[in-house]
Each structure stands twice: as C-alpha cells, then as structure tokens.
Chain A
Amino acid sequence: MSNRISHKNSRVDLNRPLTFTFDGQSYQGFAGDTLASALLANGVKVVARSFKYGRPRGIIGSGAEEPNALVQIDVGARTTPDLKATQVELYDGLVAGRTSGWPSLAFDLKSVGGKFSRFMPAGFYYKTFKWPTKLWPFYEDIIRRAAGYGKSPIEADTETYDHQHHHVDLLVVGGGATGLLAALLAGRSGLKVLLVDDQSELGGYLLSMPNILIGGVSASTWSANIINELQSLPNVSTLSRTTAFALHDMNMIQAVELLQDHLPHAARNNAQRRERLHRIRASKVVLATGAFERPLVFGNNDLPGIMTASALTTYLNRYGVACGKNAVIMTSNDLVYQGAVDLAEAGITVTIVDTREQINPEWAAKTNQLGIKVYVGYGISEAVGSGAVQGVQLVKLGSLKNVVTAKGPYVPCDVLASSGGLSPTVHLFCHDGGRPQWDDARLAFVVSANGRAKDGIFCVGAITGVFALQEGLAKTHDTIAELLTGLGKTINASGLVLETDEIAVTPARRIFNVPDGKDGYGAKAFVDFQNDVAVTDIHLAVRENYRSIEHIKRYTALGFGTDQGKLSNVNGFAIAAEALGKTIPEVGTTTYRPAYTPVSFGALAGAHVGDSFEPRRYTAVQTTHERYGAEFEPVGQWMRPWYFPKPGEDIHAAVNRECLATRNSVGMLDASTLGKIDIRGKDVREFLNRIYANAWSQLAVGKCRYGLMLDEAGMVMDDGVTACISDTHFLMTTTSGGAARVMTWLEKWHQTEWPELEVYMTSVTDHWTTAALVGPKSREVLAKLCTDIDLSKEAFKFMDWRDGKVAGVPARVFRISFSGELAYEVNVDASYGDYIWNELMKAGKEFDITPYGTETMHVLRAEKGFIIVGQDTDGSVTPFDLDMAWAVGMKKPYSFLGKRSLARSDTSRTDRKQLVGLLPEDPNVVLKEGAQLINSSDITPPVAMLGHVTSSYHSAFLGRSIAMGFVIDGIKRRDEEGNNIVYAWAEGKAVKVKIVSYVFVDAEGARHNA
C-alpha cells in the first residue's frame, strides 16, 4: 500500500529510490525522506507500543517533538537506540528496529485485556513496586523490558567524534523564515554570523508550506534566494543537521552536528567524524527556534493514524506522503486551514471539526469551494478504531465553557489530525534562568523579542508568539535593526520584500482537553504519549494533593521522556491548572534544562577518548622503560614504571627481585616526575620558613633538607627535599602528583599575602630527568661515569648535593635517599634523559643494576618508615600524628602556614589517630590497605574503629609482611615486644597485628650514611 503521491513542491526525489528495513521487513523510500515519512508512505501505522499499557502507537509529529516513533537504527557497533524516526534521514540500506513491543509490535503482553492499567496509576513506581526492597531488581527488570526503549551498543564505538570551539558576533538558532532573514540582515552588516539548524536543509516550516507567496514569489524560491546570498557572504557560516541543545552563561551555546549518519555505509568517510560538538561563544544570539504544534487532548487520541495537523501538512507538502485518503482535522484555530486546502487539492477528502463558534469567513469560503466539510462548534470526544483510527465521535461544545451540550455525528476517517495552537520552542531561552510568559491571547508560553536584550539574546518568529509569517518577518526586521543599532550598525534590507499572501488570522478557542461528557469514565485521553500520562493521572495527582507543577510532573512522569514533553507539557500545565482551580500563569512551567534533545556520549566525549582521554605525561626515559618491559601505573597525570617483570614473573616476583637487588647491590628508579621548583631572591629562606613547617635559615649551601608542607589547618599537604644552591637560590622538590598544586600554593601566598618578599619561582619539573641510583653499589656505578665530583663518604655526605658531569653531561647530583640505602639522584637536562639512563645501566651492568618502578619504591620506603603524602596522609593528618615533630620548627619567628592550627584543641588532642608500624602475627599475611583496625576479632556490633591500614607490603628483605597505619593513641601503644595487639579487619577476616615502630629497616641510618 503506497501513500506516496507525486507532489510538485515535495523535497523527496522520486527518481532516487532507496531500500530500507524496519522491524525485519523491507520497504522502499526515496532520497529526501525521513524514516517516518517513508514508513507512512508505506502505510506502516504501528511503530511502537506504549510505555505502561502496551497500546499500539503511530507517528504523531514530524520532528524533535515526536514522542512515539523511537527506533533502533543500525546494528553492531554503530547501533543507536531511541532515535526519533521523524529525525532519521533515510539512506539506502538503512536498518531500523522497534524499541518497544514485547514480544512483538503486533502483540504486546502489557496490552492483554487492556487491564494492566489499573496497576499503573500515576506514581505507580512509588506505590506498587516499593516493597519488599529486595524484589526491586526483579520488578525493575520486568518493567524495563516491558516498557521498551532501545538497546545500547555493546561493542566498542568504531567511529570518532570531536569538539569545535567558535567565537562569533552573532549566532542564529533556527533556519526557518525568520532565522534566515535574521542571519541575512546581520550578515549584510558585516557581523561574523553563524546559523545553525537541526534539519537536513534550511527553510524550517517553509518547507512544509511551499505555496505561500512571500514578496510575490513562492516560499521555496524566497528561501532559496536568501540561502544563496548567505552562502555568498564570507562572514556568514551555516551548519545544517546541527541541533543547538544548550545555552549556558554569557551565551555559550552547545550544538551537536550529525555529519555522517544520513549517508549509506559505503559513502561514509572513516577520516571524518560521526558527530561534532560545537561550543559556540556568541556576543549576540538570535533565537528563531519556532514552535511546535500542540495537539488537542481527547479520548483514544493515541490511536495510530492520529497526528498533529502540521505533521499531516508536512508529510504531504515536504515528503509527498498522503497519510490517508479520508482526513479529519480538529482545530481550535486558523492554522490548520492552509494545510487542509493543500490536502483537498491533492485529492484527499477532508473534514474539519472546528471547536470555535465562528470561523474565519475567508477560510469558510475557500473550504466551501473545495468541498471541505466544516463542523463549526464541534469537538471530537473520542477516536474510534482497532489498531488504527477508523472514525471519530463528534460532540457539540458549549459556546462559553468547554462542556458537551449535545452528541454529534460519527465521522469515518483513516487519518485524524488536531491542532490546539502552537507552543513556542522556548527551551534555550530558559536554560540559564530565563522564564517564558503566558500570553492569554495567543494561548502560549512566549518570550519577548528583546526580553533578554541586555544578555545579548534576541528572539524572532514563532518563539515570540508571532505565528503569522508576514508579522514575523516584519518583526524580525525590527528586532535585528535594534540589535544592529546597539552595535552602531545600520540595517540594510534592500531588495527584501516581506509581504505575504496569508489570510489574516482570527482568534482561537481556549481549549486543551476536549470534553466527552462522561466525567472521567470515558476513553483514555493521553497528555504525554511517551510516558502514558493520561488526563486522569494528572487529576489523580491533584486529588492526592500535589500542588506544584514540578511535583505533579515527577509524580505522573509528565514530560519526562526523551521528547521532554514538547507536545505534552503545555497541555499538562493547562489541565493541572484547571484541576487546581488556578490560572495557567499561576501554575507556571516546569524548569527547562539542557539538553533540548538527547545528545550521544560520543559527541560529549569528543576527542577525549582512548590515548587522548586524559593527559598522560611521560618522562624522557619512556621508550627505554618500554624496551625493558615495564608495566606502568598512573600517578596523577604521569605514567610511571610500576615494575619491570622478567619473562614469567608476576608483580610479586618482580618486586621481590627488584627490592633485593636494590638492597643488596644497586637499583635504579626514574624519579623525573617529582615536582621541581626553582626559587630565587634575597628572601628565599624567609619564604621557605613560612611555607614549610621546618626551619631553613641555617641550611648551608651544598646541603639538602626534607620539608613538610602544611595547609592552614595544620594538615600535611606535601613533602619533599629542598636544596640550598646559594643563599638566594633554592631548589624545591614536591610529590609527583602535588607539583602543580604546590606551585599554585606558593604563587598564591606570595602574590596575595607576602608580595613584599623578594622571591620568584619557576617550575623546572620538565627540565630535569632524575635517575635515582640506589643501593650499596651505587657509588661504584656513579664513579664509573663521574670524575669531577669527589664521591667519597667524607666529601659527599648524605643530604649533600654537588654539580659535576656524569657521562659527559652537566649534572646535579643529590645524595638523598627514599629507600634508606646509599643513593644518588642524578639530575640532567631531560634532553639527555634517555642517554643518561642508558649510560647508568651500562655502567651498572657488572653489579646487575636493576631498574625498578613505583611498587618497589613503595616497599623500600615503607621498610624505612617513610610516608607517602596522599597514601599515608589524607588531608586530616598533622606532623604530630605522623610522629614527625622533628620536621616542625615551632621556634621560628614567623607563624608558618598551619602552625596556629597545630595548637587548636582538636589537633592538639593526645588521643588522635597516629601513624604506627603494624606487623601481622602471621608473617605470610599481607594486610589489606584500608582494613579497619579493631580491638578484638569479635565483630559483633557495635565495634569501635581504632584506625586503619594505610600501607601494606610483603618485604622480601625482611622475609615477612609489614604495614603502616593509624591507630588511636598509636604512638603510646607502640611496643617492640609485640604485646600491643589489634586486629585488622577486611573482607570478612580479622588478622592479629602487633603495633610497633614504623621504621622496619636500619633505624640508626647506617645504610644511607654508608
């Protein structure tokens, strides 16, 4: 059955047939079709089953407003759920599937007996499925399967997406008549203009009304002329298939462009994006977003074959599809008449049911001429049909009140359309706080043309409630003139004739819900199709005392679907207002939030995927680490070698080997990621005294010192070794993850509190490659490469630094140790980083030098009892909690950052959690990091939490497990005899643990001083 007609202004190319499938069946369409128009052309009426009741549903709209025709497009990695068939452009080979109807579209279990509905009143989620809680997953599974909605792809996306930033003088949203005119007028003035439109071609509703004359030429010629001129202007760009979905502060508009989904697979370009997210910063914005037609609400208004009047007209004029042979159109206004005339002229039998007492005499004459029967003062109380609409029952309406005064005739039909007026598309206007106003004459929530002019937002066309084309064009001219005047520019409208041949509009009837005279016991009348919200549901919500429209929305799910209530909201507000005994403006609207239409995760992610998802920072030695087979772990943004497994080794074997090699001979760690800050100026010592907890006044040139950095609350925020290069020059190191934070911290205090201190700081983190040569043989290895530094124990002591040459490269060598071993940190210009690493490896070969990663570093430092900020601290730990009073210079004259807080009653309590060493009684048990420490193995509640484990490892050197953790009053509880016992509880097990000192290896420091 084909409903396709050859129509002179149709945008469909009947010479280019396309084949597609829907729900497993093959059909033919044409280039220029949407999936919806092609399905309607093929006579497909049922495209979905409804959410709650499983009722058959057809296509209602022709664009973003469509609530029913949610389809699954394509298969495999490209499959996309819940696209609106009205927005899917047809291409050859398109595969579309249903997203609802279980087990099939023809038979939906929910519809059995049609009686499921009594279990699903408004709020059914809250009422029916709440108890018992443990059954909720079961309910949810059944509900979700039955409700429908498509399936997400389970394969990785093979296509790419990106973001693009724009900065324009003017963004025009909407490429209909007024948007085109606005863009042209602004473009002529020289402004940098961007026009975005969601359709495949510009023109907006003119594409549906091609017969209207503008300035004496057809609408299609008029818009083609404007589009041609726009394309000739170098300062104007247009983006089609681009939906502006959000408007943020200061006119940041986000829009998503579909670049390839309209193309057959073979024509798609792998180098091109599937979608692009445009982020547009616009000095001025013109919203020409138009309006959606609002259907009237009546009994069985969800039968397939029922649509909006504008959709019926659009399918006829734009796509050459007659949705039936015998059409009934119900209206409250003049807007439907041109479409009715077009239908009649295309040979379709048309009946109009006009709810008004009087109709426009000009339209009365025209319809009469074409043999269109018009029932004046009637409404449709109920549509009749099984599976699709077959006729309508009319009722005579009261002249003043929307009540039934008499039963009317039954009129058979195969398609039914309605119009209750237009609802302006005000979404973007409202995303950042704007509110629409109810216009009682136009029966719509509208925005004024310059209501947000101070924000640079102007509105033209139907969004302002101006629904007639000629008036809209004239007002667009005036609004753009105002906009340009504000910019000191003048408007140039030469050659533009803006008169149309429209028939003047007469008033509409104020009606939303057509009465059926049955007091709520009649056929179900739907307000929101996607969520199956009927008039009775809104009434129930009001009876149950919901008063705010926001609450009624949430209780009934009105406007919750992927269509976001574009057809239903205003009807819902009006029906709620009536039930509440309030006016519509008193009830108001719900909140408009981004996104206007659904946006794919791909578009939102853009190029932030895969290896460019998050910055991965690498050291200069990366390729060598890879050659040595390193496994990596992220440390902040850095990717650091984690361990270097040899063939057949797991992480434990590798780490044990690396630890022993380092303690017994020599290992090497890439420490380049440590933050390094060069600080200079005559006040550098004073600056460090204020920034660090410990004292810096006496540190001699050539020496290094460990420092603890506290925040103002007295909590440890970073640590590291800082070297005195000269009296006015220090080099600070920070933790790898904390470098940027510390740099900002230093700058902030210097700029805001102590600008009088003469210091400057510069990050040199990336400049230096740092190779930490660690172990008893490190001196011998370094000696092979370095002749100009005296490496002897006496000349180059622990915590000294020296400048020299290593392997022929200028180097700064620090004799510092994060392992407790004899160690040298060799720093060279990172350009030589890979070179120096390889030279050190060669030099260390005779000692079986072993590269190691962060895991071994962690074990070695824990054996020595060195903390890691961020692992053993969490922002709530003072130096005293760490038993590190030695790193706090309480006698310094200036009250260093955090000092006063160390004396606060809470921080100076003696029973705080304090860092201790923990030895599991069973040396083979490695505690879980994060395990709770408790007093006994009995976990009958309540159980007092004494603390937790922060670091825990197997120490190959000690041949047993070790750990660090916090325990209330821990410092006092340390007992090397092992008499102070707690239990570490994790994952259902309690492990007996002794509280000891956290220095497990070489407490006296003989090794690092060697």
Chain B
Amino acid sequence: MFVIKCPHCFEAREEEEFSYGGEAFVARPTSPETESEESWGDYLFMKRNPKGWHWEMWGHSTGCRKFFVLKRNTANHTTVGAWTLAEARKIYDAEEATA
C-alpha cells in the first residue's frame, strides 16, 4: 500500500496502479545457445531476493503502461526513487561499481 512516483507520468500514484515486474537488470544472455546448463539456470531462476535494498522493475499497469525501475527496501517498503530504465541503469551501474 505504498506510493510510487511514476517517472513517466511524473506523479506519485497509489500502488494499486502498478504491477511488480521482478528484479531489475537481469540481463538476458546475448548468446543463449552457448550458455551452460548452470549459467542459463541462474539467469532463469536465481534471483537476489535480498532483505533490504532491491532494484526492481515495476509496470504502471493502469497508467502509461511503461516499465521502470524502483529501488525499494524489501524490509520496510521505503523507496529511494523510481527512474526510467535508462536513467536507472546509470545509477545502478555506478552503485555496482563501488559495491
């Protein structure tokens, strides 16, 4: 029952307008056929599922139907922000680089 500010509609909206789209930045292997059984399995099934901060994808289902990225604390539903996929990528990459 939290609120998300859609980065395309530029407005804070109720969670009911959105749907969860899974962990963000799970890259599809560029050449699936050469992936090993294990690495393909990881891509399909192994998610981070952290307690705490989580980069996740959401869709604005009743609104602009765009997918975007939300950084959310899974333990208490606080959010840092929501960004378009392209904006989020930069922030995420910078964060991963320092992690």
Chain A residues within 8 Å of B, Cβ to Cβ: 248-250, 252, 281, 432-433, 712-713, 744, 747-748, 751-753, 895, 899-901, 903-905
Q: Which residues of B contact A252 (CB under 8 A)?
A: 1-2
Q: Which of A433, A747, A900 contacts B35, CB < 8 Å?
A: A900
Q: Are A900 and B32 in contact (CB under 8 A)?
A: yes
Taking the closest CB of chain B, its distance from the CB of A398, in whole angstroms, is 46
Q: Which residues of A contact B19 (CB under 8 A)?
A: 744
Taking the closest CB of chain A, its distance from the CB of B35, in whole angstroms, is 6
Given A281-B3, A744-B61, A904-B40, 20 other A-B residues pairs in contact with their CB atoms under 8 A: A249-B1, A249-B2, A250-B1, A250-B77, A432-B76, A712-B44, A713-B44, A744-B59, A747-B67, A748-B21, A748-B67, A751-B85, A752-B57, A895-B33, A900-B29, A900-B32, A900-B35, A901-B40, A904-B41, A905-B37
Complex alpha-carbon distance, A903 and B35, angstroms: 11
Chain B residues within 8 Å of A, Cβ to Cβ: 1-3, 14, 19, 21, 28-29, 31-33, 35, 37, 40-41, 44, 57, 59, 61, 65-67, 76-77, 85
Q: Which residues of B contact A744 (CB under 8 A)?
A: 19, 59, 61, 65
Q: Which of B2, B3, B37, B59 contacts A748, CB < 8 Å?
A: B59
Most chain A Cβ neighbours within 10 Å, of B19, B29, B77: B77
23 sample A-B contacts, Cβ–Cβ < 8 Å, listed by A number: A249-B1, A249-B2, A249-B76, A249-B77, A252-B2, A281-B3, A433-B76, A712-B28, A744-B65, A747-B59, A748-B59, A751-B66, A751-B85, A752-B57, A895-B33, A900-B29, A900-B32, A900-B33, A900-B35, A901-B40, A903-B33, A904-B41, A905-B37
Complex alpha-carbon distance, A405 and B30, angstroms: 84
Taking the closest CB of chain B, its distance from the CB of A420, in whole angstroms, is 34
Closest to B35 in A: A900
Q: Are A752 and B85 in contact (CB under 8 A)?
A: yes
What 4 A-B pairs come out closest when comparing CB atoms? A900-B32, A248-B1, A249-B2, A895-B32
Taking the closest CB of chain A, its distance from the CB of B72, in whole angstroms, is 10
Taking the closest CB of chain A, its distance from the CB of B66, in whole angstroms, is 7
Q: Which residues of B contact A751 (CB under 8 A)?
A: 66-67, 85
Q: Which residues of B contact A432 (CB under 8 A)?
A: 76-77
Taking the closest CB of chain B, its distance from the CB of A836, in whole angstroms, is 30
Q: Are A753 and B28 in contact (CB under 8 A)?
A: yes
Q: Are B85 and A900 in contact (CB under 8 A)?
A: no
Q: Which of B3, B28, B33, B41 contacts A250, CB < 8 Å?
A: B3
Q: Which residues of B contact A903 (CB under 8 A)?
A: 33
Complex alpha-carbon distance, A433 and B2, angstroms: 14
Complex alpha-carbon distance, A900 and B34, angstroms: 9
Q: Which residues of B contact A281 (CB under 8 A)?
A: 3, 14
Q: Which residues of A contact B33 (CB under 8 A)?
A: 895, 899-900, 903
Complex alpha-carbon distance, A713 and B32, angstroms: 12
Q: Are A250 and B2 in contact (CB under 8 A)?
A: yes
Taking the closest CB of chain B, its distance from the CB of A249, in whole angstroms, is 4
Taking the closest CB of chain A, its distance from the CB of B87, in whole angstroms, is 14
The answer to whether residues A899 and B67 also contact, given A248-B1, A281-B14 and a CB cut-off of 8 A, is: no
Q: Which residues of A contact B3 (CB under 8 A)?
A: 250, 281
Closest to B65 in A: A747
Q: Which residues of A contact B2 (CB under 8 A)?
A: 249-250, 252
Taking the closest CB of chain A, its distance from the CB of B69, in whole angstroms, is 10
Q: Are A752 and B67 in contact (CB under 8 A)?
A: yes
Most chain B Cβ neighbours within 10 Å, of A433, A748, A752, A901: A752
Closest to B30 in A: A895
Closest to A455 in B: B78
Q: Which residues of A contact B14 (CB under 8 A)?
A: 281
Complex alpha-carbon distance, A895 and B19, angstroms: 28
Complex alpha-carbon distance, A817 and B31, angstroms: 37
Closest to B77 in A: A249
Most chain B Cβ neighbours within 10 Å, of A252, A744, A899, A900: A900
The answer to whether residues A899 and B40 also contact, given A248-B1, A249-B1, A250-B1 and a CB cut-off of 8 A, is: no
Taking the closest CB of chain B, its distance from the CB of A889, in whole angstroms, is 14
Taking the closest CB of chain B, its distance from the CB of A268, in whole angstroms, is 32
Closest to B43 in A: A712
Q: Which residues of B contact A904 (CB under 8 A)?
A: 37, 40-41
Q: Which residues of A contact B61 (CB under 8 A)?
A: 744
Q: Which of B1, B32, B37 contacts A899, CB < 8 Å?
A: B32
Q: Which residues of B contact A752 (CB under 8 A)?
A: 57, 67, 85
Complex alpha-carbon distance, A899 and B29, angstroms: 12
Taking the closest CB of chain B, its distance from the CB of A47, in whole angstroms, is 38
Complex alpha-carbon distance, A432 and B85, angstroms: 30
Q: Which residues of B contact A713 (CB under 8 A)?
A: 44
Complex alpha-carbon distance, A713 and B40, angstroms: 10
Closest to A753 in B: B28
Q: Which residues of A contact B29 (CB under 8 A)?
A: 900
Complex alpha-carbon distance, A903 and B37, angstroms: 9
Complex alpha-carbon distance, A241 and B52, angstroms: 39
Q: Are B1 and A901 in contact (CB under 8 A)?
A: no
Most chain B Cβ neighbours within 10 Å, of A433, A713, A748: A748
Closest to A454 in B: B78
Complex alpha-carbon distance, A401 and B96, angstroms: 60
Q: Which residues of A contact B85 (CB under 8 A)?
A: 751-752
Complex alpha-carbon distance, A752 and B88, angstroms: 12
Q: Which residues of A contact B40 (CB under 8 A)?
A: 900-901, 904
Q: Which residues of B contact A747 (CB under 8 A)?
A: 59, 65, 67
Q: Are B44 and A901 in contact (CB under 8 A)?
A: yes
Closest to B59 in A: A744
Taking the closest CB of chain B, its distance from the CB of A162, in whole angstroms, is 16
Complex alpha-carbon distance, A250 and B12, angstroms: 12
Complex alpha-carbon distance, A252 and B77, angstroms: 13
Complex alpha-carbon distance, A903 and B66, angstroms: 32
Q: Which residues of A contact B44 (CB under 8 A)?
A: 712-713, 901
Closest to A755 in B: B85
Complex alpha-carbon distance, A712 and B43, angstroms: 10
Closest to A251 in B: B3
Q: Which residues of A contact B35 (CB under 8 A)?
A: 900
Taking the closest CB of chain B, its distance from the CB of A759, in whole angstroms, is 15
Taking the closest CB of chain A, its distance from the CB of B82, in whole angstroms, is 13
Closest to A167 in B: B14
Complex alpha-carbon distance, A961 and B4, angstroms: 54
Complex alpha-carbon distance, A751 and B41, angstroms: 23
Q: Which residues of A contact B67 (CB under 8 A)?
A: 747-748, 751-752
Complex alpha-carbon distance, A248 and B16, angstroms: 14
Q: Which residues of B contact A248 (CB under 8 A)?
A: 1
Q: Which residues of B contact A748 (CB under 8 A)?
A: 21, 59, 67
Complex alpha-carbon distance, A748 and B59, angstroms: 8
Complex alpha-carbon distance, A899 and B61, angstroms: 28
Taking the closest CB of chain A, its distance from the CB of B90, in whole angstroms, is 16
Taking the closest CB of chain B, its distance from the CB of A909, in whole angstroms, is 13
Complex alpha-carbon distance, A904 and B21, angstroms: 25
Taking the closest CB of chain B, its distance from the CB of A877, in whole angstroms, is 16
Closest to B24 in A: A752
Closest to B28 in A: A753
Q: Which residues of A contact B66 (CB under 8 A)?
A: 751
Q: Which residues of A contact B37 (CB under 8 A)?
A: 904-905
Complex alpha-carbon distance, A752 and B58, angstroms: 11
Most chain B Cβ neighbours within 10 Å, of A747, A751, A753: A751
Taking the closest CB of chain B, its distance from the CB of A487, in whole angstroms, is 16
Complex alpha-carbon distance, A752 and B57, angstroms: 10
Complex alpha-carbon distance, A252 and B12, angstroms: 14
Q: Which residues of A contact B77 (CB under 8 A)?
A: 249-250, 432
Closest to A905 in B: B37
Q: Which residues of A contact B1 (CB under 8 A)?
A: 248-250, 252
Taking the closest CB of chain A, its distance from the CB of B3, in whole angstroms, is 5
Complex alpha-carbon distance, A248 and B2, angstroms: 8
Complex alpha-carbon distance, A747 and B41, angstroms: 24
Taking the closest CB of chain A, its distance from the CB of B74, in whole angstroms, is 12
Taking the closest CB of chain A, its distance from the CB of B86, in whole angstroms, is 9
Q: Which residues of A contact B32 (CB under 8 A)?
A: 895, 899-900
Complex alpha-carbon distance, A895 and B28, angstroms: 11
Complex alpha-carbon distance, A751 and B31, angstroms: 20
Complex alpha-carbon distance, A433 and B78, angstroms: 12
